[in-house]
Amino acid sequence: MSFISYLINGISLGSVYAIIALGYTMVYGIAKMLNFAHGDVIMIGAYVVMTAVTGMGLPPAAAILIAVIFCTVLGIVIESVAYRPLLNAASSLAVLITAIGVSYLLQNIALLVFGANTISFPNVLSIPALSLAGGELTITGEAFITIVSCIVIMIALTLFIHKSKAGQAMLAVSEDKGAAQLMGINVNGTIALTFAIGSALAAIAGVLLCSAYPTLTPYTGAMPGIKAFVAAVFGGIGSIPGAFIGGLLLGIIEVFGKAYISSQMADAIVFGVLILILIVKPTGILGKNIQEKV
């Protein structure tokens, strides 16, 4: 029985990683950049929801909508100010480093505006926990919602990218920027759209992360951001279903590692398994193996 309960816990934790990883992998797949500030956009989104609910007394649905809009605008601003000038830089590392600068900036803005105090995130998703096997097993409402949202977002994103015109443009940009431009695609606009969607996802991820683990500080986004990055690579970075699977697996490995091997070594176990899997499967679980040519 405890095995199943650990499994459920692992899936709940993994679903939070997965939903963050979706935003990560989406931006990576199109813009080919690791957006290290993604975790901090999540944190900003959570603060916006918190302010809207407790400060302005808005209903949760309206608060989440405001957060989504806020983060979308934030994403577009960050992209145009900090990332776009480096789009054609000599090395793709330049934009990665700038993203780290943006991450510091967002953390410090939040620190100045909201202070360093831990805030308990308001209960915006009031779903009762699901009890199974006479109370032996419980699935929290937050975990349930997170998994459902993950699946919905995953399907929606896949459909959007493959069926809509804007999605096709994204695919074209990710394949070859120059050729896409020649075909009349607005490359800058497409990348901005990618960031807008990625940041909107970050706002939703912020709500789900902070509902599942309701403490909020200016540094709340940093560690889940890194874990989600790992999850995205795990699943094969750039692959949307891969991010979902990677996130879930990461959560399950973390919980099982703690439960059956050693709770002190949890991090070492997670990262150790990750290295092993990448050695066996060098492009992640669902990553494409691209044949290189001279």
Q: Tell me which residues in 151-190 interact with other proteins (CB under 8 A).
A: none
240 to each of 26, 31, 81, 154, 156, how far by Cα in Å?
Answer: 7, 14, 27, 7, 10
Check: CB of residue 284 under 8 Å from CB of residue 236: yes
At 32, list the tokens: 């080919």
> Is residue 60 close enough to count as binding other proteins by CB under 8 A?
no
**Minimum distance from residue 126 beta carbon to other proteins (Å):** 12
Among 7, 60, 80, 138, binds other proteins (CB under 8 A): 138
**Judged by CB, which is closer to other proteins: 155, or 268?**
268
**Minimum distance from residue 165 beta carbon to other proteins (Å):** 29
Among 57, 117, 163, 182, binds other proteins (CB under 8 A): 117
Instruction: Single out the segment in contact with other proteins by CB under 8 A; choices: 69-77, 147-155, 192-200, 254-262.
Output: 254-262
CA quadruple 271, 277, 283, 288: dihedral sign = negative
Instruction: Single out the segment in contact with other proteins by CB under 8 A; choices: 41-49, 135-143, 146-154, 187-195.
Output: 135-143
Annotate the chain with three-state secondary structure: CHHHHHHHHHHHHHHHHHHHHHHHHHHHHHHCCCCCCHHHHHHHHHHHHHHHHHHCCCCHHHHHHHHHHHHHHHHHHHHHHHHHHHCCCCCCHHHHHHHHHHHHHHHHHHHHHHCCCCEECCCCCCCCCEEECCCCEEECHHHHHHHHHHHHHHHHHHHHHHHCHHHHHHHHHHHCHHHHHHCCCCHHHHHHHHHHHHHHHHHHHHHHHHHHCCEECCCCCHHHHHHHHHHHHHHCCCCHHHHHHHHHHHHHHHHHHHHHHCCCCHHHHHHHHHHHHHHHCCCCCCCCCCCCCC
Residues 274-293 that bind other proteins (CB under 8 A): 274-275, 278-279, 282-284, 287, 292-293
Number of residues that bind other proteins (CB under 8 A): 83
**Minimum distance from residue 116 beta carbon to other proteins (Å):** 4
Residues 68-107 that bind other proteins (CB under 8 A): 82, 85-86, 88-91, 93-94, 96-98, 100-102, 104-105
**Minimum distance from residue 259 beta carbon to other proteins (Å):** 5
**Judged by CB, which is closer to other proteins: 61, or 279?**
279
**Judged by CB, which is closer to other proteins: 52, or 237?**
237
Among 56, 62, 77, 129, binds other proteins (CB under 8 A): 129
> Is residue 195 close enough to count as binding other proteins by CB under 8 A?
no
> Is residue 113 close enough to count as binding other proteins by CB under 8 A?
no
Each residue 4-43 as x (binds other proteins by CB under 8 A) or -, in order, gives -xx--x--xx--------------x-----x-x-------
The phi and psi torsions of 88 (rounded to 5 degrees) equal -110, 25
> Is residue 230 close enough to count as binding other proteins by CB under 8 A?
yes
> Is residue 133 close enough to count as binding other proteins by CB under 8 A?
no
